[in-house]
Chains A and B, each alone.
Chain A
Amino acid sequence: MNYGLTEDQQAVLSELERLIAGTAPDGHTEPEFAPYCEALDQELAQSGFLDIAREDGFGPLDAALVVECLARAPQIVEAAASALVGPALGLPVGLRPVALVEHDPLKPARFLPRAGVLLADLGDRVLQVTVDPDRVVPVDSLFAYPYGRLETLDGLETKDVADVATLRRRWRTALAAEAAGCMAGALALVVEHVKDRRAFGRPLGAFQAIQHRLAMAAETVESCKWLAFRAAWSDSEADAALAAAFAQKRIPQFAFDLHQFSGAMGLTLEFSLHLWTYRLRALSGELGGAAAQARQAALATWPEAAA
């Protein structure tokens, strides 16, 4: 794996950053609990960024770069599953947003209220459900995503897909890349905050207690990011599980620290930190959380010893 971006990748990311900037909410809109950015979603659907893994000369690594970059933005859109999972399972171009759920297709899934398709990991196979938005019941959630669930599959178009391993592998990579981006977005906000806000006659960022933990947070962001990119590049089961496990394990401390240094302000909706930390929390619980991912990484790396 080459650790520098190619010219093509740089071009893709700067164009993507332009799209993101163009749909950024202006500072004067009412603070919102769990906004979904329709404008960015539509731009993404039209521009083809989420199909990058399907294009000649590009692949899952490029998709992971796109996912990480999008997650740094405060705008919330479904991108990770569309960019990394959909293409690998052969979903037709444009069939999105993609909702993912484990075990039971009737469980609440994030993005389902807006999804075009639901992919349910049923253990031995994947059930692909074409979603009729009218059939989705919104579910209350505290995690800044639109959650929803289906009450029944009756009357919905479903299809079995055999390749459950691919779904899980790409799901793990997708969540690791999205988590890395959310962490980077959140950290950038808080670093600015502690430079600006003053206490005891100096900027908060001058206190070493704060510097040290933000330095640890920066290390978490970097390591999560490169593990996620590595998983996308190798597209291997072991790397994907490792990247997801690592990100999920780091999330709780990371989120607490960033809120801690933002003080009471960071708990209000007027300060946008929650837009990333809600997402991080939701991601940290996916696919059974860090311990399940770590076990999977061990199993993929040392299958005999684990058996």
Chain B
Amino acid sequence: MNDSIDRFRATARAWLEANVPAETAPRDGPEARAFTLRWQAKQAEGGWAGIAWPEDVGGRGLSVLEQIVWFEEYVRAGAPSVLSPSFVGLNHAGPTLIACGSPEQKARHLPEILRGEVLWCQGFSEPGSGSDLGSLRCRATVDGDELVVEGQKTWSSWADIGDWQELLVRSDPEARTSKALSWVIMPMDAPGITVRPIETMAGPATFSEVFYDDVRVSLDNVVGGLNNGWATAMSTLGFERGTAALALLIECVHQVDTLLADCSPRLPMLRARLAGLRAEGRSVLAMNYRFALESENAVPDASGSMIRLAFAEFAQKVSAAAVELYGIDAAQTLGERGWGYEYLHAFSETIAGGTAEIQRNIIGERVLGLPRPPR
């Protein structure tokens, strides 16, 4: 067992050393798209795409342990951040299709995702529905064998460069949320879709508003059954919370070591803070490994929320400490590649993909079994 893992690690390391792109990844726009697809295609050619995905959809069918080893080596080699335009396809839409898609849907979409031919984005949030996702209003009406979509989504990351969107719509205006929504595969070039990028305080415009004006899509594109979209969406939330962030976490833990190396002993308070962060990072990593390995053969439990939350707050502290270490006017801080960007971007860590408060509510109610607040 250990021998084979060691061999896997050595092969991964060798391949990464030879293939990691030398240039840095563009953050947004068509350049980001081209770069991401090229890098994904290269990984697929090398046999490194979909390590833990089933073989029948183009994955390698290996274990979570191998996936973890791959991430470790990936970060060690300085490969492009996994928080890239391919994130939704690989970590959200893909796993949802694996869990709930029909054989045709799987065959149509999963190999494309792995081979780096398409990008996916997520259309869940709306201007009036973020944390309270169940209140979403974007409407879909059945018309023959089609759905007609009307409404708006927002904060959809990389929607401007995406080919497909995992879209959550209200397909039954009367029913309760759990029976009213549908999870739809939406082609982003469908007539009636307008995408407007939104500028953020961190600089690059990586998320967009999306408007749907009489957009028609085949009923075959519904995943997990009409009006069963809530269950379909929830099927992979645990995955996103527990496993998807693992590569990011490993990267962040590495960064703390670099910061410590750069922190002069003449700054004892900052050094102590960074050493504390190192401990914190290792603890989150340990929790995450445990969670990922245990959820291999089971539906991830609610404790994924703990990991998601701990990672988010850890990442924020690391970027704040980095800005403090280098100073707000240093070369390491300024510019698109600087820690200043990371610092500003890190504000979103405790918001995107379920806010810190929502995660705490979940931990309180589902992990600790506390009573729910009065409604």
Q: Do A and B bind each other?
A: yes
- Interface residues of chain A, those whose CB is within 8 Å of chain B, are 31, 33, 107-108, 139-143, 147, 198-201, 207, 209-210, 252, 256, 259-260, 263-264, 266-270, 274, 277-278, 281-282, 285, 289, 291
Q: Which of A264, A278, A281, A285 contacts B155 (CB 8 A)?
A: A264
Contact present for B347 and A267 (CB under 8 Å): yes
The residues in B between 333 and 349 inclusive whose CB is less than 8 angstroms from any CB of A are: 333-335, 338, 340-341, 343-344, 347-348
Question: Most chain-A Cβ atoms within 10 A of its Cβ — which of B128, B328, B341?
Answer: B328
Q: Can you show 30 pairs from A to B with CB atoms below 8 A apart?
A: A31-B199, A107-B329, A142-B333, A142-B338, A142-B341, A142-B344, A198-B128, A199-B135, A200-B132, A200-B135, A209-B357, A209-B360, A210-B357, A260-B350, A260-B351, A263-B131, A263-B355, A264-B125, A264-B130, A264-B154, A264-B155, A268-B201, A269-B201, A270-B198, A270-B199, A274-B201, A285-B324, A289-B324, A291-B269, A291-B270
Residues of the A chain whose Cβ atoms lie less than 8 Å from the Cβ of B129: 199
- Nearest CB to that of A291 among chain B residues? B269
B305 within 8 A of A: no
Cα A210 to Cα B357 with chains together (Å):
9
Residues of the B chain whose Cβ atoms lie less than 8 Å from the Cβ of A256: 316, 347, 350
Question: Most chain-B Cβ atoms within 10 A of its Cβ — which of A143, A200, A267, A289?
Answer: A267
A-B pairs, 8 with minimum CB distance: A199-B132, A274-B201, A142-B340, A285-B328, A108-B329, A264-B155, A259-B347, A269-B199
The residues in B between 299 and 353 inclusive whose CB is less than 8 angstroms from any CB of A are: 316, 320, 323-324, 327-329, 333-335, 338, 340-341, 343-344, 347-348, 350-352
Grouping DSSP codes into helix (H, G, I), strand (E, B) and loop, the A interface class, with mixed when no group exceeds half, is mixed
Q: A199-B131, A209-B360 are in contact. Are A282 and B355 (CB under 8 A)?
A: no
Question: Known pairs A107-B329, A263-B355. 7 more at Cβ < 8 A?
Answer: A141-B334, A142-B203, A142-B334, A209-B361, A264-B351, A266-B347, A270-B199
Residues of the A chain whose Cβ atoms lie less than 8 Å from the Cβ of B323: 281, 285
Cα A260 to Cα B351 with chains together (Å):
7
Question: Most chain-A Cβ atoms within 10 A of its Cβ — which of B200, B201, B323, B360?
Answer: B201
Interface size, B (range):
35 or more
Residues of the B chain whose Cβ atoms lie less than 8 Å from the Cβ of A210: 357
- Nearest CB to that of A149 among chain B residues? B329
Q: Nearest chain B CB to A161's CB is how many angstroms away? A: 23
Q: Mark B112-141, 1 if CB is under 8 A from A, else 0.
A: 000000000000010011111001000000
- Interface residues of chain B, those whose CB is within 8 Å of chain A, are 125, 128-132, 135, 154-155, 198-203, 207, 269-270, 316, 320, 323-324, 327-329, 333-335, 338, 340-341, 343-344, 347-348, 350-352, 355-357, 360-361, 375
Contact present for B270 and A267 (CB under 8 Å): no
Cα A209 to Cα B355 with chains together (Å):
12
Q: Nearest chain B CB to A118's CB is how many angstroms away? A: 14
Residues of the A chain whose Cβ atoms lie less than 8 Å from the Cβ of B200: 267-269
Q: Nearest chain A CB to B325's CB is how many angstroms away? A: 10
Cα A282 to Cα B327 with chains together (Å):
10
Contact present for A278 and B328 (CB under 8 Å): no
Contact present for B329 and A147 (CB under 8 Å): yes
Contact present for A267 and B131 (CB under 8 Å): no
Residues of the B chain whose Cβ atoms lie less than 8 Å from the Cβ of A281: 323, 328, 343
Q: A199-B132, A260-B351, A264-B351 are in contact. Are A140 and B198 (CB under 8 A)?
A: no
Contact present for A285 and B327 (CB under 8 Å): yes
Q: Nearest chain A CB to B354's CB is how many angstroms away? A: 12
Q: Nearest chain B CB to A276's CB is how many angstroms away? A: 11
Residues of the B chain whose Cβ atoms lie less than 8 Å from the Cβ of A252: 320
Residues of the B chain whose Cβ atoms lie less than 8 Å from the Cβ of A142: 202-203, 333-334, 338, 340-341, 343-344
Residues of the B chain whose Cβ atoms lie less than 8 Å from the Cβ of A259: 347, 351
- Nearest CB to that of B129 among chain A residues? A199
Contact present for A267 and B351 (CB under 8 Å): yes
Residues of the A chain whose Cβ atoms lie less than 8 Å from the Cβ of B131: 199-200, 263
Q: Nearest chain A CB to B350's CB is how many angstroms away? A: 6
Residues of the A chain whose Cβ atoms lie less than 8 Å from the Cβ of B199: 31, 33, 268-270
Contact present for B334 and A264 (CB under 8 Å): no
